[in-house]
Structures are given as C-alpha cells and as structure tokens.
Structure 1
Amino acid sequence: MPVFTHTHQQSDTADAPEASASPSRPTLRERLAHLRTWRDRHPTAARVLRWTINILAAVLILGAMLLPNAVGALKPNRFTRIPAEAIVGAVVMLWLPRRPRVVLAVVSGVGLGVLTMLNLLDMGFREYLGRGFNMVLDWGLLDDAQAYVEDSMGRTVALGASVGAVVLVLALLVLMALATVRLSDLLADNRSAASRGTLIAGTVWITCSAVGLQVSGMPVASDRAAGALAMQARRVKDTLRDEAAFAKVAKVDTFGNTPGDQLVPDLRGKDVIFTFIESYGRSALEDPDIAPGVDKTLDVSTKALTEAGFHAKSGWLTSATYGGSSWLGHSTTMSGLWVDNQQRYQTVMNSDHLSLTKAFQKTGDWDTVGVMPGVQKAWPEQKFYGLDKVYNAFQLGYQGPKFSWSTMPDQYALEAFQQQVHGKKRDKPLMSEIILTSSHQPWAPIPKMVGWDELGDGSVFDAIQKAGNKPSDIVADSTRSKEEYGKSVQYSVTALTQWLERYGSDDTVLVFLGDHQPIARVSGNNASRDVPISIVAKDPKVLDKISSWNWTEGLKPAHNAPVWKMSSFRDRFLTAYGSTPHPSTN
C-alpha cells in the first residue's frame, strides 16, 4: 500500500502541469504575421479592405472639418466643399519626418474630435435653448440635462444615455486620431502623388475662393473648421469680458436706496401674486397649430373672470432665455437686469440688487412667500427674492404621481397654496411668487382638471397619469409635441384662472407671465423670444395705474401690443405703483 500510494502521488504530480496547461495567447508579432499571411493569400480582398478603410478615414476627417453647428444646416451641400484645413494639414504632414508627423496627426485627430463634439453640443443647445454652447458657462447644464432625462424618462434611460454619451465621446476621439494617423501614413507612402494632389487642391481652393464659386448655394472653398474654432474662442473671450462688465452694471440700481415706505405705496393692502407659467410663449398664442386651443382657453377664462368681477390687461415681454433655463427668465423679471447666462445669474444672486419681490419684503407691510413645486433641494436664492417662507416640492403635501418632470399638477399646487398660505388669516397682506410647472417639456403625460374639492392629497391624479402619454411617444415627434404643448398651456392657464375666480378677493392682484418660449422643435426656427404677461385685479385703480402702458384688454395681448425687454418690467412696475427712485451705485 505505501508503495502504491507513493507511485500514485508521483503520477498525480507528474501529470498536473500537463492537465493544467492551456494554449498561450498569440503575441502581437504572431498576429501581425498571421495578418500578412492572410493578405498574401487574399490580395484582392486585402486591397479592397485597405482602400475601404482609407476612404472611411477620409470621410470621417472631411466630415468633421465641414460639419455645421445647427441641425437645420445638415444638408448635402455643406459636405460638397473643399476644406482649406485639409490642404494645409496635408502640406504639413508631407513635410514632417515620421515621428513628429504621427504625434501631430494624433493631436490633430483629437482636436477634430473635440471640434465635432462642440459642433454637436451647439446643435443641441440651438435646438433646445436657441443659442450655441458656451465652453465657459454651460458644462453645468449637462448635469441639469441628465437630471431632466431622469425625471422625464426614468433612471434607466438617463443612465443609458449618460453611458452612451461617454462611449460616443471616447470612440469619436480614438477613431478621429486613428483616421488622421492613417491618412498621414498614406500621404507619406505616396509622397510624390500626394504632393501633386495637394498642389492641385490648393490651386483649386484659391481659384474657387477668388471667383466665389458656389455649388447648390454654398461656396466650394471652405474654412469651416477654422471658423468654428474662431467662433468658440470669441465666445470665451466675450464671456470673460462680460463677467467684469456685468458686475459693474449689477451694482447700479434705480431703487436700491429707496426707503421701504416709498416702495409700491399704491398696492398697500393688496394680496399681490407673481406667477410664472413654464414655457408660456408667444407661439402658444400665434402659431396656427397651437393657438386655436390656447386662444379659446384665454377667451373663456377672460369671460369667466369678468363675470367674477375681475379685469385684465396684457402685453408682451422679450425673455432673456429661450427653450429652457427658466431661472434666467425669473431673475431677469424680478431683478430688472438682463440675466441671459449662468454667470450673470450667479452674480445677481450674490448681489444686494433689489428684486421686485424683495421690494415688498423691504416695506415691512407684506408677508412674502414662495411656492416652488419644481424645487427639490436647498434653494439659497430665497434670500435674493426676499421670501420669508418657501414651500418646495416636499412641503405642499402632495402624495400623487409625478407628471414627467413636473412634481405635481398646477391645480394641486395652487390648492395647496390656498390651504396652507393664501387662505390663512394673517395680520398683513400677502405677496407671493408661484412657479407653475405642468407645461414643462416633454409635455407627457399632462394632468387634467378635476373638481377642486376632489384634490385631497393628489392621489386622484393616479389614473390620469397612468392613462396619459409616455414622454418617449412625444419627445421625438414635432407635431405631437406641438399638440401636447398647447394642451399643457391650456391646462396651466385654466388652473390659474379658475383658482383666481374661486379664491380671489377685491384685494387680489395677479401678475402672470411666461418665462420663455418652448424649444425650437415646437416654437419653430427663428421664433421670437416674446412671452405674454397679464395683470388681473378687481379694483379698477390697479389697472388704471398702468393705462399708459397701452396693453390689451383681457388675457390675450394683441399681436401689435407693446413689447418690452423683460428686464424693464421691474422698474416700470415699481414706478407705476408709486415707488420713488433712490439710486444706489455700489
């Protein structure tokens, strides 16, 4: 037994290496040798593959150089041009030795990848915000975009989109670098023919540029990539200049030193409510595909309010923002400053500039409250706006479902405002700022009006939310987006005006307006930035104070009603209601 056991152990030991052995992976040299063998065996297929890769690399590089920065410009004639950058790049690559040539090719490829990303970001920002991407200010908005996708379409979709974006960026940079290196090698391997071709291309470019030759309405000679880089550089330069200039402007305030007893004396004793309706723009009232339903709602609401004893006047304001970034519209209206980017917003929020709402707090004669159903985290802006108390998304008692990005239906938010704030007995009148969110994109699902006595904790909206459209069914369809946008505005206006009809008093003054136009896919390319604004009250003296404004009677401003910059509203309002200017300059 001991001998048998010993022999068995030796056998196991001897066999172990053979049993555990696994095929070693081929080295890079072996793989290259295998590839050469395949090319030798299949020369035609190898040649076709090589030229296919070369052509794809050229298409990728030329496409990056000619890519426009607006979706509407993505047309074939934009890619039938001769880029000067390609000619200059070929000359440099032909002149350089191999090692610096490869380094420059990699750097150039990565640079083209970055330029492509900036052009794509420009497309997205123009489509949604009506302006290009700002490399200094707008990186933070990408986090907001991710949060918006998560709120609208769920965490899974948002995570998938984020991962996809990262993969796309990395793939773009790598592929662009590899393509540039490949083309530089191709030029070097065929130096004589490449030199002749580059000379011919340069001559053709200069000739076409000199005579202004065009194909399908576009110049054949292109310097699109250099122009795009210059444009981005100008944006950075202008942004840095604007920061210092705007900081000085923000220190000048017509009413900065006005004593509290000289602010809005003609509104003493009134409950004043400032309400912003999300994405409520001129397109809602004038676009032929949207306006009929909205116009009918405004007419019906005007009639109902008139029967309840209210009267209204309406005009237009040109918003500082478009398609999104609602806080820029809010701060522009309330500060009297043109706040059209995040840098200006931060400057204003950190300043002592007098906001319109804070003017009421400064008097000491009003309680000031904010109702912000879209706020779901700390909101330090409360101080700038002069609000004694702010009710955010978690403080209004809502237990119903979200409607895409909107945390609760406007009707519920208004009823919660009534029950928790407006309807309470108090020693002072109330000044309120309310942000209504049901008309926020993607306009699916949209809440519907229910009986005001049926609202409860909001659970009544469960069935309505489940029966509504899914964001994915709406977001990529311009026609349906327009239809649903119009319905959402009708809902918001109806909820607000019904609330006023139901709970308003002789001392109620309602100012409501849009914060910005909806995105270009809904409002159309080159749409104005105008939004409607209305002032509603029972006391005729309130509207008499603004008779010189020449606003339109009712809730619908006429097409030719006065149009002011949104930043002018604060001073006009304060002046109309008796405030005395006492400027501050620092």
Structure 2
Amino acid sequence: MSHPTPARPPETAPPAGPSPDEGRRRGHPRTARGIRVGTTVGSAVLLLATLLLPNRLDLLTPPAFMRLPAEGIVLVAVLLVLPGRARRVTAVLAGAAIGLLTLVKCLDMGFYSVLQRPFDLVLDWVLLDDAADYVRESFGRTSEVLAIAGAVLLAAAVPAATALALVRLAERMARRRPPAGRTTLVLAVVWVTCATFGLRAGGEPVASTLDAQLVDDRVRAVRAGLADERVFAAEAAVDAFRSTPPDRLLTGLRGKDVLFTFVESYGRTAIEDPAMAGPVGAVLKEGEASLGAAGFEARSGWLRSPVLGAGSWMCHATLLSGLWIDNQQRYRQLVSGDRMTLNRYFRRTGAWRTVGVVPGVRKAWPEARYFGLDRSYDSTHLGYHGPYFSWTPVPDQFTLDAFDRLEYARKNRRPLMAEIILASSHQPWAPLPRMIDWKGLGDGSVFGPIQRAGKDPAEVWKDTERVRAEYRASIEYSLRSLFGFMRRYAHRDTVLVFLGDHQPRPEVVAGSPRRDVPVTIVAHDPAVLERVAGWDWTPGLKPAPDAPIWAMDKFRDRFLKAFGPQAPGPAQESRKAAVRRTNHSGSSSQG
C-alpha cells in the first residue's frame, strides 16, 4: 500500500538585503585589508621615525623628521634581494639593532641634558645607578620605582617593536617586489640628488646619514674607552713631587689651617649671566667687605672643570690628584692606586691633621682612605637631625657649624687641612634652606618649617626660568654660609681655598659649552697671597672676565710649587730690608 507523498511547503521569497551573517562575511575582507594596510603603514612610520630620531632634545624638531635616511634605503634594498628565510632573519636582527640604537639615542638625550655629552657605552653604565639615587632623593621612592620600571619596559619594548615592524615591512615588500624595487630606486636617486646639491629642510640636510655617523662615533668612543685605562696609568705614574722630602713640602703654609671648600655647581654662569650677576655679585661684594674688615684679603681666578652639569666627585679628584678625571673608569683607577693627592701631601708632612666633611655621602665611603684623610664626616656624623632639602642631606650653614664644633674649635690640636663639600646648591635647587642665627642651629630640627615651606621641585622644573632663579638663590645661600663661617670662626692663621666643582645643568647655562668655575684664595697673612702673586689672579672674591683660566688638574702642582721652598721674592726682600733697617736704627740709638 503506497503512502501519499507529503506536499512540500511553498517556497518563501528570500528576505530583502543580505543576511547578518552574509554581511559579516562580506565585511571581513575589508576589515582585514584595513588592518594589513594600517599595520604596514604603522611599521614604516615607526622605522622611519626611529631612523631619523636625533640623540639630543634640542634637535628634536619637525625638520629632523623631514629627511631621507640613507640607512633605511640601503636596508630596504638588501631585504628586497634576499630569499625568504634569510630575509626574515636579517629583518629581525636589523630591526632589533635599530631599536637598540634608538635606546642609545634616548640615553644620549638624558646625558646631553645633564652633562652636555653623549652616553659612553664603556664607562657610563655605573652612572645609571647614581641617576636612580638622585631621582629617589629628589622626587621620592615612588618616582624612582616608576622611572626604573619605565626604563626596563622601554628597553624591552623598543627593540621588539622595531624588529616586528621591519619583519612586517619586509614581507609586504616581498609580495610586491617590482613596485617596491622601483620605489626604492627613486628614493635612492632623490637621496643622491639632495646630497649632491646640499638640499636642506628647516636647516637640516635632507640626505641623512645620522645613524651611520652615530655608529661610527660609538665605535671610536668604545675603542678610546678601552684604551683609556693604559693612557691613564701612564699619566698617573708621573708625579713631580712624589720624591720631595716631607720637610720641604708646603713650607709656606706651616702653622696654618687650610680649608679646601667646594661649592656645588658654582660656575662661571653664576657670576657672569646677566640674570644672576647682580644678586650673586652683591653677595660677593658684601662678603669681600666683611672679610676685609676682619683683615682678610683674597685673590680669584678660573679653573676649567673636567665635567659639566654633574659628577662632582670627579672634579674633587681632579683638583686634589692633579690628574684629569672625566669619567668613572678614571676615578676608579685613581682611588684604587697610590697617586698622591693634596690631602696626602699635607698628611705626609706630619704637620697637619687631614679631615673630610662630605655631607652628600650617605653610606660607607672607602675612598676616604685613598684621599689620605685622618677622619671623614658624612651626613650621619654631623649631628644633623633636620629634614633633607630634596637631594641635599645637610644645609651648608649647619655643615660648616658642625665642622667648627667637631674639629675647628678643638683645643690643643694640630693645624687642619680640611676638604669641605657644600651641597646645598646641588640640583634640583628646591626646596632651599635659608640663613638663620648661628646660635639657633641646634641639632638642625629648626630647618623643618623652612623645608616644609619650600618650593616643590616638580613645580619648579616645569619652567626653565624658575629653575635658573632657584639655582641662583642656592648659590647665594652657599656663599653666605661660607662667608658667615669665616666671619664667625676664622682666625689669623686660616687660609681658605674655595671653588666651584662644575657648571650647572645646560638649562641653567643656556646651552653654553664653557666649563669654567671660580676659584679663590682667602688669607689674613699677606705672605700667603704673596706666594701666588705670579698667578695674576684678580684681587677680591670675584675673578675678572680676563683672569687666567687653568685646567683644574694643573692646580695641585702649582699650589705645591707656590707653597714649597722658594727663593725670596721682591716683597719678601723688601720686608727683610725693612727689618734690617729697623734693627740697625735700634742698635744705633742704643749705642
């Protein structure tokens, strides 16, 4: 028995327009194509930007990116002719190299901003730790952690991003080899034309070889850094005074307290910049008048510092050792050797007790033994219980008062040779201490309200002119502290040598490359200044613009020569003749 076939339902007309699924299927190719194009364009822009990125912030301008990088054109040409696997490997390695070079440029930006020089791939890694300490002390632990985390993330992300970008670009070019080849050829012709005719955009040459030049400079610098150890060892072996008998050293200063005082960042800018010369000059003039009333005179000149912006310890070492210390490798070689310093020469005579006052040191300082100090006082040994002023642990006024309390005012002591560091003028120059009554210093807690009322460094550093104003104020404070100490505590047998260590940061010196710092000798005994009459230094606390400029490493030997045994000069002969005449006159009258 057959069953009837069920009737088929009538077909319904399809819905008008595409279904949602069909619409999504049709949209996918467009979206994917957009992503591919966007990724390729983004990769090209990233690589072009990294290749053209300058290594100095002041060169980071729009014209810097309106150029053709020769390195990019050559790299594209190489990738076009390589087969698949070799092309991918080359793209990964070259892309990572571009990223690493970009990181070096970023380091250069930081070093140019502070030290006005590029990062040294051999010698400067240790300074990154000091930079982290500076951020922590100036802006807090959180800022340090964020800065380190950002640096680590950047170091990992940049090479990875440039490597992926170059792989992406290489694969797209391989799929479209003929048009990519024609485009590369056109760009090469344009580059050669621009180079031939010296075409420029916004003052920058259109035909760029920035990265090739940067790599060449780094290769030369690495070779020089590796060879510098041998060069420095040869320089340190030469010492004109090493064999001088102790009884013939520093004879012109016997019985004197000799204080070598470094004023942080006290550079030529503080004295000659139009925005600073007036206020700082007034402090110097006031100090000169008050010291003159107490019977002191001064002579001033210029020294050329080995560094700019930072690296105070290298300046201290340069002056005291008589060797040019302009990098950390040289400093480490110095303090691990036996080169004689001024401190050690004073100590060798047996006539002085040598002391170091280093308030910027917060931890063990093994270099004190090398420098020949009988005793050193860091920030934890000065009796200070007040607040830090940003990076600066102890205000200068308290530092000098503590030196008097701990050493200078002691009874029945030997003469002192002291190295004193005044750190209140250390960047970031906010907040700043101010002068208070010397009798009210106590344990330093009196500085608490002053510190809390001070300016926020983060706010100050938003504006260059505010930074310059606070720097000037810090120099005024340091100088007032020093002159106040001299008026209050110095005596007839005190000899003060005070100087800057280096110029301040580029923002403060307005980009000036000059590295000159003032140096001044103050003494009550005229015989001391007669010893340096041949130096042609300017009378007073302020060196004249045309006063002699010495390299800082030349000071040690000139100082030792001036104050060692020497034939009597005209002034000494005149005094001796006057004494003989007085004695002869007295004898005649008695007869």
TM-score (norm. length: structure 1)? 0.91
1:404 is aligned to 390
2:391 corresponds to 1:431? no
Mapped contact 1:322–1:518 kept (Cα < 8 A): yes
Residue aligned with 2:240, SS: coil
Deviations 1:64-109 (A, max 9, x none): 1111111111122221111111111111111122222112111111
Letter in structure 2 aligned against 1:238: A
2:252 corresponds to 1:266? yes
Residue aligned with 2:274, SS: coil
Residues 271 and 39 from structure 1, CA distance in 2 versus in 1: closer, same or farther, beyond 3 angstroms? farther
Deviates more, 1:478-487 or 1:162-171: 162-171
Mapped contact 1:368–1:432 kept (Cα < 8 A): yes
1:54 Cα offset (Å): 2.0
1:449 is aligned to 435
Deviates more, 1:197-206 or 1:555-564: 197-206
Larger radius of gyration: 2
1:19 is aligned to none
Mapped contact 1:57–1:179 kept (Cα < 8 A): yes
Equivalent of 2:239 in 253, 259, 262: 253
Mapped contact 1:280–1:515 kept (Cα < 8 A): yes
The whole-number CA distance in structure 1 between the counterparts of 2:549 and 2:24 is 73
Letter in structure 2 aligned against 1:366: W
Deviates more, 1:113-122 or 1:342-351: 342-351
2:192 corresponds to 1:206? yes
Deviations 1:398-441 (A, max 9, x none): 10000011101000011010011100013411111101100000
1:70 is aligned to 56
2:101 is aligned to 115
1:524 Cα offset (Å): 1.7
The whole-number CA distance in structure 2 between the counterparts of 1:78 and 1:169 is 23
Letter in structure 1 aligned against 2:227: R
Residue aligned with 1:536, SS: strand
2:133 corresponds to 1:147? yes
1:40 Cα offset (Å): 4.4
Residues 476 and 137 from structure 1, CA distance in 2 versus in 1: closer, same or farther, beyond 3 angstroms? farther
Residue aligned with 1:395, SS: coil
1:53 is aligned to 39
Mapped contact 1:397–1:416 kept (Cα < 8 A): yes
Mapped contact 1:39–1:46 kept (Cα < 8 A): no
Equivalent of 1:161 in 144, 147, 159: 147
Equivalent of 1:540 in 497, 520, 526: 526
1:340 is aligned to 326
The whole-number CA distance in structure 2 between the counterparts of 1:510 and 1:480 is 32
Matches within 5 A, 1:30-49: 40-49=26-35
2:72 corresponds to 1:86? yes
The whole-number CA distance in structure 2 between the counterparts of 1:275 and 1:568 is 17
Deviations 1:310-340 (A, max 9, x none): 1111110000111001011001101111111
1:45 Cα offset (Å): 4.5
1:520 Cα offset (Å): 0.3
2:121 corresponds to 1:135? yes
Residues 481 and 239 from structure 1, CA distance in 2 versus in 1: closer, same or farther, beyond 3 angstroms? same
1:327 is aligned to 313
Deviations 1:472-510 (A, max 9, x none): 112342111100000000000000110011000000000
Matches within 5 A, 1:273-288: 273-288=259-274
Residues 42 and 292 from structure 1, CA distance in 2 versus in 1: closer, same or farther, beyond 3 angstroms? farther
Deviations 1:369-425 (A, max 9, x none): 111101111212112211100011111111000001110100001101001110001
- List alignment gaps of at least 5 residues for structure 2: 1-21, 567-591
2:298 corresponds to 1:312? yes
The whole-number CA distance in structure 1 between the counterparts of 2:202 and 2:143 is 40
2:128 corresponds to 1:125? no
1:182 Cα offset (Å): 1.1
1:207 Cα offset (Å): 2.4
1:466 is aligned to 452
Identical columns (%): 50
TM-score (norm. length: structure 2)? 0.90
1:460 Cα offset (Å): 0.3
Deviates more, 1:99-108 or 1:366-375: 99-108
2:272 corresponds to 1:290? no
1:175 Cα offset (Å): 1.3
1:556 Cα offset (Å): 0.8
2:483 corresponds to 1:497? yes
Letter in structure 1 aligned against 2:526: P
1:285 Cα offset (Å): 0.6
2:344 corresponds to 1:358? yes
Residues 313 and 46 from structure 1, CA distance in 2 versus in 1: closer, same or farther, beyond 3 angstroms? same
Equivalent of 1:96 in 82, 105, 111: 82
1:211 Cα offset (Å): 2.8
Residues 39 and 299 from structure 1, CA distance in 2 versus in 1: closer, same or farther, beyond 3 angstroms? farther
Deviations 1:120-173 (A, max 9, x none): 111110110121100101111000000000011110111111111111222212
1:395 is aligned to 381
Deviates more, 1:42-51 or 1:366-375: 42-51
Letter in structure 2 aligned against 1:170: A
The whole-number CA distance in structure 2 between the counterparts of 1:570 and 1:476 is 40
Letter in structure 1 aligned against 2:533: S
Letter in structure 1 aligned against 2:213: G
1:570 is aligned to 556
The whole-number CA distance in structure 1 between the counterparts of 2:25 and 2:152 is 35
Deviations 1:354-380 (A, max 9, x none): 111111000001111111101111212
- List alignment gaps of at least 5 residues for structure 1: 1-35, 581-586
The whole-number CA distance in structure 1 between the counterparts of 2:497 and 2:204 is 48
2:515 is aligned to 529
2:570 is aligned to none
1:575 Cα offset (Å): 0.8
The whole-number CA distance in structure 2 between the counterparts of 1:39 and 1:250 is 78
